Amino acid sequence: MSLAVVLTPEAQIDYDEAFDWYESKRRGLGVRFAGAVERAFNAIAAMPNMHAVVYRNLRSAVVRRFPYVIYYRVEPNQLVVVSVFHSRRDPSIWQKRV
């Protein structure tokens, strides 16, 4: 049984901005990014504890083929995604959200 994946408003903004940026660079690249993120969501929903805790109670999962990391916490009935974050950005940005 997979847990539901819920994005915080900030994580949704991260995701939307990344999608738009990739799509503006090349038509269809945003769609590929979205697919990679969805595959990562599905993997962590199926096995939520497969990734180590990296900060407080947050775990991280790398998005394949894109320089993004998903930061999430496991709750009893859902996964809460705090950030879909570019790996080269200052981590203090997503850490302030915890």
Lowest-confidence range among 10-24, 27-41, 54-68, 82-96? 82-96
Q: How many CB atoms neighbour CB 70 within 10 A?
A: 27
The alpha carbon of residue 36 and the mean position of all alpha carbons in its chain are separated, in whole angstroms, by 10
Three-state DSSP at 2 gives coil
CB 79 within 8 A of CB 72: yes
For the chain, what are the domain ranges?
A: 4-95
Model confidence over 8-25: pLDDT tens digits? 999 999 999 999 999 999
Give domain 4-95's CATH superfamily: RelE-like (3.30.2310.20)
Please give the average per-residue pLDDT across 58-68, as a whole number. Answer: 95
Lowest-confidence range among 32-36, 61-65, 67-71, 90-94? 90-94
Query: Above 70 in pLDDT, residue 95?
Result: yes
CB 69 within 8 A of CB 61: yes
The pTM for the full model equals: 0.91
pLDDT at 15: 97
Query: Above 90 in pLDDT, residue 90?
Result: no
pLDDT at 9: 96
